[in-house]
Amino acid sequence: MLTLNHFSELRDKTILGLKKRNWDDDKLGWVDKVAALDIERKEIQTELDNLKAFSNQASREIGNFMKSGQKGEAESLKSQVARNKIRISDLESRSDANKSEMQELLYKIPNIPHASVPAGKGSEDNEVFQDWTQPMPSLYDGALPHWELADKYNLFDLKLGVKITGAGFPLYRGKGAKLQRALIQFFLDQATQAGYEEIIPPHLVNADTATATGQLPDKDGQMYFCDLDKLYLIPTAEVPITNILRDEILDEKEFPVKFCGYTPCFRREAGSYGADVKGLNRVHQFDKVEIVRAEHPDKSYQALNEMIEHVKSLLDKLELPYRILRLCGGDMGFTSALTFDFEIYSAAQKRWLEVSSVSNFETYQSNRLKLRFRNNEGKTQLAHTLNGSALALARIVAGILENHQTPDGILIPKALQSYTGFSIIS
């Protein structure tokens, strides 16, 4: 949620930012609508506060009159307060209408892209921020995509997932399961070594939590929902972990706040189709280690760079070819100011697969979270939040299987061997 100064002092910047997200004039009108609502809000509050002040004062006087037995004075004041009350309830309903209209608009307005974000409509306009310059893995004739490798080596079984649950719920088995567990352990160890505190959060969250990180109302329908208990299955560990900080006022000295956590992620992926959903490319349940940070606004872009370096080091250690994209305005997430996507190259599928997304939300998320810190002047100020996948498992598994396959079997990257306990899947 954008702070209100985005609609007054920062109005022009806001308009430019939204244009980068390809907003038309119609929707851009919301910006001035919010500004107008804000002015109205202040007017209503000033008037309402004055009316209430009168009532409060009068009530005190009535008390005094009652004590001193001045019944007549008390009664006449009471009737004044009663008249006042009508005006108050009138204004209050105006105030409620104003608030809900404001909130509805604010929920519909995404974050303002960082200056470096390129303009563009969709994924084809993303900027290659760092390309893969080394040679691509050359596979032998007869190299297979990961879903065929899975059958060959008995690593995961999509049909069993369908039988037990439905499409998009893979079942891992044997060395496939062990590889999965090894990766989780490896990623957590790497994050912990980089100073992130490990968290095991709940996997179901309430509506307040889902709202605070921006999944609701924007992504309602993309989350699995337990109707009986009104709880949502988390689409990412970002949701419960970032909410640790909801309604907190940190001391400036507490920065940087660095959390990491492994969770399964549940996504309905309503509307997805086609080649994207083949094998592990797009599933409803996958495992992910997430890193989350809260930072001083002056340091958040430095933190973003550190997170990028961290993800790079993971992919290097897994010996996977990757590139980094700077997402364009049209492809960026709703709440993000700047996002870098990591894609690994799948040699067998001959395509790039997204495995990580690292973002700075600036104050967009903390405004809804009410995550503040006390600055050196003793004032409360919104913190910046960031998060990134480090890393998302299913597609990493796909990449390892495909890129490291040889006629003799699938070679496990050295860094992972102490976690898997085997060096080849054959």
**What's the rounded Cα separation, in Å, for the pair 374 and 372?**
7
107 near 218, Cβ under 8 Å? yes
66 binds RNA (CB under 7 A): yes
DSSP 193-230: HTTPEEE---SEE-HHHHHHTT-TTTTTTTS-EETTTT
Element (H, E) at 27: helix 25-67
**DSSP class of residue 95?**
H
99 binds RNA (CB under 7 A): no
The Cα 148–Cα 159 span in angstroms is 13
Give the Cα-Cα-Cα angle 107, 36, 371 (nearest 5 degrees).
40
- From residue 226 to residue 265, the character string flagging contacts with RNA as x (rule: CB under 7 A) and all else as - is -----------------------x----------------
Q: What are phi and psi of 369, to 5 degrees?
A: -70, -20
**Does 275 sit near RNA (CB under 7 A)?**
no
The closest alpha carbon to 131, from 307, 309, 314, 321, belongs to: 321
Residue 50 is a binding residue for RNA (CB under 7 A): yes
Kindly identify the residues of this chain, within the stretch 348-377, that bind RNA according to CB under 7 A: 372, 374, 377
Among 68, 76, 375, 380, binds RNA (CB under 7 A): 380
Which one of residues 32, 59, 83, 174 is an interface residue with RNA (CB under 7 A)? Answer: 59
57 touching RNA, by CB under 7 A: yes
Q: Which stretch binds RNA (CB under 7 A): 12-20, 40-48, 102-110, 185-193?
A: 40-48
**Residue 45 found at the interface with RNA (CB under 7 A):** yes
* Distance set, CA 423 to CA 311, 385, 411, 412 (Å): 23, 39, 6, 5
Using DSSP, how many helices (H) and how many strands (E) does the chain show?
A: 12, 19
Q: Interacting stretch for RNA, rule CB under 7 A, among 80-88, 142-150, 175-183, 332-340?
A: 80-88
**93 makes contact with RNA (CB under 7 A):** no
Tell me how far, at minimum, the Cβ of 124 lies from RNA, in Å.
Answer: 40
Whole-angstrom distance, CA of residue 49 vs CA of residue 353: 56
Choice between 41 and 404, CB closer to RNA: 41
Q: How far is the CB of 314 from RNA (least distance, A)?
A: 33
Q: Which two tokens stand for residue 70?
A: 């001045």
Q: Smaller CB distance to RNA: residue 55 or 123? A: 55
Could you say which of 15, 33, 35, 55 contacts RNA (CB under 7 A)? 55
Please give the helix or strand (H or E) that residue 372 lies within, else none: strand 372-374
Only one residue has tokens 């008995």, namely 154
Cβ closest to RNA, residue 46 vs residue 116: 46
Shortest Cβ 95–RNA spacing (Å): 10
| 41 in Cβ contact with 98 (< 8 Å) | yes
- Min dist CB 126 to RNA, Å, is 35
Interface with RNA (CB under 7 A), residue from 16, 36, 53, 136: 53
Task: Write out the two tokens for 349.
Answer: 């599928």
When asked if residue 85 is in the footprint of RNA (CB under 7 A), the reply is yes
Told to check if 309 binds RNA by CB under 7 A, we report no
Binding span for RNA by CB under 7 A among 19-27, 49-57, 163-171, 297-305: 49-57
By CB under 7 A, name the binding residues for RNA.
4, 38, 41-42, 45-46, 48-50, 52-53, 55-60, 62-63, 66, 78, 81-82, 85, 249, 372, 374, 377, 379-380
